[in-house]
Structure 1
Amino acid sequence: MRLLLSTSAAHELGHEVLDRQELAHRYPQHRLPDGDTAVLDRLGAAIRPEASVQAAAARAEQLGARLHRYTPVREVVPAAGGGVRIVTGQGTDHVDAAVVTVGPWINTLLPDLPRTVDIRRVIYSWHLPTRHDWFAGGAPPFVRAAPHDCFGIPSPDGSSVKLGLSFKYHAPVPEPERLDRTVRPEELGTFRELIRDLNPDPIRLSAYMEGCTDSGNPLVGHLPGEDDIIVMAGFSGSGFKLAPAMGEIAADLALDGTTEHPVDFLAPAGVGVD
């Protein structure tokens, strides 16, 4: 809590500290135990990821990009004479530089990556409220640190609440191509412990993958020894919200070989090494 408040103050981020009574008054769907405190982020928001991805893809095509839809990438390797050779299900391309942003498949495509990306299976569940005023006061997205590290996002249509858990609850994924997408009843125990004023029986369940690092920081920079291959991986579930800045960094590294953004501590080979 102290770290969160000092960070908010240092960067002049708009926030309020709400005690148990004030939080219950403004947002009756959240009831804290005695002694707990809430921090309201005035700059927080939610975004529709699917619409955002499609809008970005459409704009890229308008600017001249070629998108290879539904095309698996088999290999990304340095090409003889410079550049990068990319082998896909549709053939082979030779490019000047490649930005590898393949999420859970990073270890498969770049097996010589010196820093490990731990691939985990993530479960999300959606629940209906059991009280009519659950969405009162705007029902902002939330993150809880105790008793379980979790988050929740009310659906835009005001019908359900999406719940997710932190890294320690995610099972390892040995082979991304064989992700088990079936969620079993016994996997819902922790979700049930979190729920108040929500129906414990979910209306929807989904299993996904995330690539995580030991530090929680992503790997951003050139693949060691390869100036033409840029790695962006291991965002630990936070990559989407960082996409605009990371896209600018990727463009800098691919076009200029360097960036003014301070990303040395994220180097795939280790701090200060690229």
Structure 2
Amino acid sequence: MKVAVIGLGAMGSLALWQLAQQGVKAVGFEQFGLADARTGVGGESRLFRTAYKEGPQYVPLLKRARVLWRELEAQTGQALLHLNGGLTIGHPADEAIARVLQSIEQFAIDHQRLAPAEARARFPAHRFSDDEVVIFDRESGYLRPELAVTSALRRARDLGAEVHGHSPVARVEQRGDGVWLELAGAWQRFDKVLVTAGGWVKRLYPALGSPVFTRKLILSWFPARDIAAFSPERFPIFTRRSQGYFSFGVPSLEGSMVKVGISTPGHVVEHPDQVDLRISEAELADTRHVIQHFLNGLDPDPVRSSGHLDAYSADSHAVIGHPPGQPGVLLVGGFSGHGFKLAPAIGEAATALLLGRPAPVSVSAFNLHRLPVFH
């Protein structure tokens, strides 16, 4: 069987590795260079959370992903996943807190629930209100995304896969003898095709309509008065929803600055090829608010900011399935800014589905046919 993978970001690179491990003749196509910062891969770190605010249905995939990240580390000799713990901070009435607690209870996740006074003593870089819930998840940490993607692609190549950068796919057509891709005006035939095009997925599948859209993610790095206070040993990863602001952060990985990001409505991108990925002062306003009101010891002026594109779905959950009339195509996308940690488990599941096997961990909850455009 010959399988093409379109888009070699998080999902595509890890899927190509999984396909190659199964002995499949796999060919990957990426429109940019490998691990390009314009995709959802850039930014030096990604959160790995296990007590999951998006819902307990993700926890089996997360546990499987952790096993596979360790497997990739063993095969490549690269340190990719660092479990330094993670904080979830929010109001007890927040549905996200309820889902985190449900994940913990259902899957016996190693954790502590901290009183505000204890949280202040242990994690002085944060400001905690007396009415906030603080949960410390010992099974959380961070990933190195660029290193993870390039490591997966190198390993896939070592196992026999082909990797083609700067190779945009213009069209995908299901025909009687297979699936055909148009590249640089020429057509190539494959038995199956996996589409993991991230923020560019609607260029190939405009029928996804409004339920799937591209957003610009904003990441910023801030100098600290005492950078040692933000080391991985003292500053766990965090997600926080306070006063309507949803923020997240990662410890200092290189000893000079701390990454803090925000996730707010807006920043929708109609044409990803034309978007300006630079960050304006207006776009930094919410991040500055977070730094000034919820964190201690960081200067509010970032030393660096960057924009990255990802595909979101209307319900913020993944979109996985066969587009109508294309049984040889598997579409995987819409991870809504929280997919990187899941990539090896999704790659494994996609490989199984392409080969006509049951997925080791079910992804049926994310079937694309739940979208109104496919009803």
**Shared fold by TM > 0.5?**
yes
Instruction: State the partner residue of 2:205.
Output: 110
Instruction: State the partner residue of 1:166.
Output: 263
Q: Which residue of the other structure, out of 246, 252, 260, is the alignment partner of 1:149? A: 246
How much has 1:231 moved relative to structure 2? 0.4
Contact kept? 1:114, 1:268, Cα under 8 Å: no
CA gap of 1:258–1:229, structure 2 versus 1, over 3 A, is: farther
- Mapped to 1, the partners of 2:227 and 2:192 lie a distance apart of 54
Q: Which residue of the other structure, out of 278, 286, 292, is the alignment partner of 1:182? A: 278
Instruction: State the partner residue of 2:316.
Output: 216
Amino acid at match of 1:180: D
Instruction: State the partner residue of 1:96.
Output: 191
How much has 1:257 moved relative to structure 2? 6.4
SS state at 2:199 partner: helix
How much has 1:58 moved relative to structure 2? 0.6
How much has 1:260 moved relative to structure 2? 5.6
How much has 1:132 moved relative to structure 2? 5.2
Instruction: State the partner residue of 2:182.
Output: 87
How much has 1:167 moved relative to structure 2? 4.0
Tell me the alpha carbon deviations over residues 89-125 of structure 1, each in whole angstroms, 9 at most, x when there is no partner. 3843210000000001111111234773111111111
Amino acid at match of 2:335: F
SS state at 1:2 partner: helix
Answer yes or no: is 1:33 the counterpart of 2:129. Answer: yes
- Of the two, which has the highest radius of gyration? 1
Contact kept? 2:181, 2:187, Cα under 8 Å: yes
Q: TM-score, normalised by structure 1?
A: 0.92
| Runs (5+) with no aligned partner, structure 2 | 1-96
CA gap of 1:139–1:158, structure 2 versus 1, over 3 A, is: farther
Q: TM-score, normalised by structure 2?
A: 0.68
SS state at 2:149 partner: helix
Contact kept? 1:114, 1:269, Cα under 8 Å: no
Instruction: State the partner residue of 1:17.
Output: 113
- Mapped to 2, the partners of 1:40 and 1:5 lie a distance apart of 11
SS state at 2:242 partner: coil
Instruction: State the partner residue of 2:90.
Output: none
Bigger relative contact order, structure 1 or 2 (CA pairs below 8 A, ≥6 apart) = 2
Of stretches 133-142 and 196-205 in structure 1, the one that deviates more from structure 2 is 133-142
Answer yes or no: is 1:248 the counterpart of 2:343. Answer: no
CA gap of 1:219–1:188, structure 2 versus 1, over 3 A, is: same
SS state at 2:112 partner: strand
- Mapped to 1, the partners of 2:209 and 2:276 lie a distance apart of 27
Of stretches 22-31 and 128-137 in structure 1, the one that deviates more from structure 2 is 128-137
Where do 4+ consecutive residues of structure 1 move more than 3 Å?
Answer: 257-261
Contact kept? 1:143, 1:150, Cα under 8 Å: yes
| Runs (5+) with no aligned partner, structure 1 | none
How much has 1:61 moved relative to structure 2? 0.6
Equivalenced residue count is: 271
Instruction: State the partner residue of 1:130.
Output: 225
